[in-house]
Structure formats: structure tokens, C-alpha cells
Structure 1
Amino acid sequence: MTLTQGRAPRPAEKVRGTHHQASLIVQGADATGIVAALTSVLSGHGANIVSLDQYSDNAQGGAFFQRTLFTMDALQAALPALRADLDDRLVKQYGLTYRLRDLSVPKRVAIFASKSDHCLLDLLWRHRQGQLPINIAMVISNHPDVAEEVRSFGIPFFHVPSMGPDKSAAEVEHLRLLKDNVDFVVLARYMQILSGEFIERAGVPIINIHHSFLPAFIGAGPYAKAKERGVKLVGATAHYVTEDLDEGPIIEQDVVRVSHADTAADLARRGADVERAVLSRAVLWHAEERVVRNGNHTIVFA
């Protein structure tokens, strides 16, 4: 295993300054001729392929995944005809699935937070600096502590209390706020467990940041537990949320080396740095259509 000291995030692709760039994600059973068929369709519509990344987990009949970035004049007008040809060549001929997206339209995101603000404020800052090609529609928190800081970024803030074992009233309000307003949700150290019903009814991907290199130290006080165990590494994991707590497909992970001399507070501080970096990369890659889910794991074209 190779250990890194916080891999530098790849710069966001220049998608917000152009109205002609799109991504095409393809997945399904591998077969001869898929790449040729795909490039033929794109070239037939006057598209210029900027990058093409592919992966097959078995050259003999395995699963095939591909991310293609291309430019095209009058993209919006061309999309219906392009989709029709992709349906004929990729879906009907090869049984593949695909998603095609105009990257000039940023994904809308809601950020859920609690009292810990390091991941939240990092995402807001990166967004303001143009490092994340997203539109932050709102921040929702079960505490009012970060309200003024969020509003200073010009982002709507909603305080939705969530107390006690019954979270149903809070989740009803969450769903009301999210309905038709977001394309995905980010849990920026949101210290509440989401119900399976909420996850299903939200109907959008949900990304969580976990305060360890999964699986390890679940529950409260993770860094105190890590200190007690004398760990030599602390890390963070960004993953998609499923009904199984902290068991969803992993998007990104990273670690930093620590020593016996570090206090629990030192571990928490260094862990927070890793959490910020890992979550921002996961959000960036999801926003740029770099992540392909396949069962309970992911293929990340990063």
C-alpha cells in the first residue's frame, strides 16, 4: 500500500466558461467494437474528442467503463439527435447504458452540516474561488452556529433541528427543501444518521465524509479512540451514502502519518485537514462526471 501526504487535487476542468463541452459515461459488458462505435457516433455529429479514458475489469467478457469528454458546436440543439444515435449504437447494438451531460450546466448541490464547520467552509471557499464547478443551492444544518458564516458567502442557510431518536419531522422538511432543487447532497460532517426512507425519497446521490480510513473507529470521539489504540495513521474516506451505515461505494480516501507524540487534539487537527482534501476531491470528481458506480464500488477517472 502506498501512503500519501495529501494528494493535490486535480484542477477542475474548464467547464463553466464554455457552452459546448459535454461528458459521456458508458458502462456495460465489454465487447469488440464499442470504442469504434462510440467515436463514430461522436464524429458523425461533428464532435471533437478532448479526452477518452476507459477501463475493462476483464479483457475476456468483463465489465466496460468509459468516460469521454468532447466539444461540439450548438451542443444543446444537437443533443436530441446525438442521444437517438447513441441509443441505436450503444444501447440496442451493445446493450450498454450511458449518461450524457452538458458540462456548462453545473450540478446543484445541498450541503448538510452540524457544528463542525471545517469541511463546510472549505467547500464554500473552493466554490467561491471557482475550484468546484457546482451551484450550491443551500446549506442545511441541525444547529444554527454556522448560519452567519454561510450567509456571508451568499448561500441560503436553513436551520432544521433534529433532536431525539425520531428524525421524521426533520426529514420531511429536508425533503421539502430538496425537492426539484438539487442534483446531489453532500454531508459535510453532518452528525445525523439518515433513514433508508429519506435516502430513497431524496432520489439523488448523497456523498458523506467519514473521519477515518474505513473501516475503523465508528461513533463518537474517533480521534480519542485512535489515540488510545496508538495508531500510526489517520485518514478520511468519502463515499456514497446507502442504507447500510458507512458501507456505501468509496469515492476517495487518503491518510497522513502520525506518531506516539501526537495528542488526540493533534490527531483531530490533522484528520480535519485530510477530511477537507478528500471531500473536496470527491465533490469535484462527482461534479465532473468522473465517478462511475458499479455495485458497491466505483471506477474513478481522476
Structure 2
Amino acid sequence: MKNITKQLPFWLALFICLTPVVSSPTALVIGFLIASLGLVPTEFQLAKITKKLLAYSIVGLGFGIQFEQAIAVTSDGIELIIATILGTLVIGWWVAKWMGLNKETGYLISSGTAICGGSAIAAVAPAIKANDEQIGLSLATVFVLNSIALFIFPVIGHALNLDQHTFGTWAAIAIHDTSSVVGAASAYGEEALTTATTLKLARALWIIPVALFSAFLFRNESKKVTIPYFILFYCAAIGVSDALPQFDMIYQGIFDVAKKALVVCLFLIGCGISVEKLKASGPKPLLFGITLWLAISTSSLAWLMLG
């Protein structure tokens, strides 16, 4: 009875994360608080459950990608998209090495910065066999910077007199998660919102090649490459929803469930983070994330203003 009572806050928090009122960053914080209070059940293999649920969530998100629209937007800004994604990953690799940051943590933060925040981290993590601590630190870093970007980007845009299209493009490239991109762009204007949302959708397609490349880059000593098969199912989901549009209502339902499952994943990941682990990691992950974020923000803005 005592054990059940001790587990009650965990299950209650998990239930709350299933409701619409809890966002991904909030779920991560709730999980962290539950872990800090020592209320996480020890008999469950949370790490194993989380990794499987992450993979299922990413596949489900594939049903929300409008393939033709994403391809069209990608082709319009292909040079900027490729330059910022590859540039962020390469710079991130060397800066993480220079700072002495854990290789997996640095790569996850780089991937989240380069593509689409938490979704990219969730997709790349199984491919490089990252553990919960590395995933949690990466997500926490990205979410902190997301929160800041939501408020300061519109201010900077107005100060520089950026037009709607330019701001929308910049927001889609330099802000990590789609939710913050939408929030910042909607505060700037309707055209900015349309541009930012569509371009961010297009960048999400780059999860596929980045995850596959990541599996090759982080192959083990036997030189065997572990193929992240869930990425293939992610591609299949995009293909099916594009080929059979008459079932759009079903796809939207799957997409909504996948988004909520991803929130639950972040709660479980938060349950694997503790104050001790954060102290042990030090300020390096956040400093690394800020450095990389400033690099992509300033360079992309310069490209758009001078191009």
C-alpha cells in the first residue's frame, strides 16, 4: 500500500501530461520535479520504454507532413536550408570538441538547432544510441533557448524593420521548435506566420537524412551501422498520407496522438534527470547551445538581409 501511495504522484503527473494543458517543455519540467522528489518508480525500465515510445511518436508525426508543400518550399530556399543545416552540424561538432562537451550531447543539441528542436533530438537520439541523461540535457537546453526566442525575435525584427517574409524565413531557420516558431511569427504578422510555418515544415523532412547519417557517424567499433528503421517508417507515413489524401481525418488523428505521445516521452525523459546529474554536467551544454544558436541566428539574418 505504501509503495502504491509513493507511486501516485508519478501516475498523476503522467495523466496530466496527457491533457491539452501541458506542453512539451512543461512535461520535461514536471518529470524533472518528480525525479528530484524521488517519486519515480524504480521497478519500471523507463529508459527502454521511452526509446520505443520516441520511435513510435516520430513515425506518427510523419502523417502530419504535407510532402508536396514541403518539397516546394524546400526547393525555393534550398541553398539557405542546406547551408544552415550542414553549417550548424559541422560548427557544432568542432565547438563541442573544443569545449570538451560529451559528443552525443553536443550532437543532439546541434541537430535540434539545425532542424526542428525537440523533434529532431527525439529522432536522432535512438540513431546515435544516446542515453536519457544526454537526451534530457539536450532538450532542456533547446527548450530554454526556445522560450527566450519566442519573446526577443519579434523585438529584433521590428528594430531592424524586417519585412514579413524575411522575418518568417529567419524565424523558421533560427528558432528551434515549431511551437516557438509559430508563436514568434504570429506575433509579427500573418504573412510571417505562413512563411515560417511552411518553411519549418520543409526543414522537418531533413530529419530523415540527418538521422541516417547520424547512425553511420556514431557506428560502433565493429564498424557496423545500426539503421534507425523507425525513420523508414516515418518516410512511409509521409508517403501514405500523400498518396491517399482521402483519409486525411485519420492521419490528423494519428498526428495528434503522436504529438501527445511525444509530450509523454519528454515527461519520462525528465524523470531521468536529477539535480545531481545537472550539477555534474555543469554549464557546458547551455553555453554550447547559446554559442551555436547565436552563430546560426546572426549568419542566417546576415544572409537574408544582404542577399
Q: What is the TM-score normalised by the length of structure 1?
A: 0.21
Q: What is the TM-score normalised by the length of structure 2?
A: 0.21
- Max radius of gyration: which structure? 1
Q: Which protein has the bigger helix share?
A: 2
Q: Which protein has the bigger strand share?
A: 1
